[in-house]
Amino acid sequence: MMSDFEMYMDEYLPLRDVVFNTLRRAILKGELKPGERLMEMDLANRLGVSRTPIREAIHKLELEGLAVMIPRKGAKVASITIRDLKDVLEVRKGLEELAVKLACERISTDEIQKLKKFSNQFQFAMKTDNLAGLAESDVEFHEIIYHATDNPRLVQILNNLREQMYRYRIEYLKDSTARKTLAIEHEAIWTAVKERNKEKAVENIRNHIDNQQKAIIRSLEGKE
């Protein structure tokens, strides 16, 4: 059965781009699940559009690796693979290391306080077993670091990678042990940034991403 999702309208974008962005977001957030059929007529009816922008959107999703076309069967949401995860995290780790180094140089007192705030929010969400709250606090924590770099181009690239990570983030947060590790890592990163200790901050962010990769791989391998 098709997962529930809504179309995000944007008066400045052509309809085909709105449809593409909507389907892309639904896949990245897990609202359209790996292996789920992308049936043009059903999607067109759900979004209230013709089949043409749906067909165009599916083609673009194929180019991004988020959809695959099966001969004589049509398109489906691409599976989450360990190779894809490693590729994304390999790039993310290098950029996050750069970001945290720049943040140590440029972060404001207000941003340091916000970093602590979202670290605390993550711990609160962990106690209430709120997956959505956990994901949101994790994203906000890293966004504070990104914006503290004062480098819009770096922020743009990292935000694109963050979107690609949505597919894996929930798998990671389902693991209660991984959550506890992540909470400890957030505190360590915050402390290093607050002290403007670049070497320690880079070491902490590297460990943070490496541990995330291990946790997600454990989850994916458990489903095989």
Where on the phi/psi map is residue 206: left (φ > 0), alpha (ψ -120 to 50), or beta?
Answer: alpha
Model confidence at 4, pLDDT cuts 50, 70, 90, reads low
Q: SS3 of 2, please?
A: coil
Band (pLDDT 50/70/90 cuts) for residue 2 is very low
- Fold classified for 15-77: Arc Repressor Mutant, subunit A (1.10.10)
pLDDT at position 218 over 80: yes
Give the best-scoring range by mean pLDDT among 87-96, 127-136, 163-172.
87-96
State which H helix or E strand residue 176 sits in: helix 176-194
The domains of the chain are located at 15-77, 82-222
What is the pairing mode between strands 67-70 and 74-77?
antiparallel
Give residues with Cβ within 8 angstroms of 190, minimum separation 6.
112, 115, 116, 119
Token pair listed for 12:
């400045």
The predicted structure's pLDDT at residue 1: 40
Q: Locate tokens 């950029």: which residue?
A: 95
Task: Retrieve residue 179's tokens.
Answer: 């959550």
Confidence check: pLDDT of 20 > 50 = yes
User: Domain 82-222 adopts which CATH fold?
Assistant: Four Helix Bundle (Hemerythrin (Met), subunit A) (1.20.120)
Interval 108-148: pLDDT, tens = 999 999 999 999 999 888 888 777 788 888 989 999 999 99
pLDDT tens, 193-207? Answer: 999 999 999 999 999
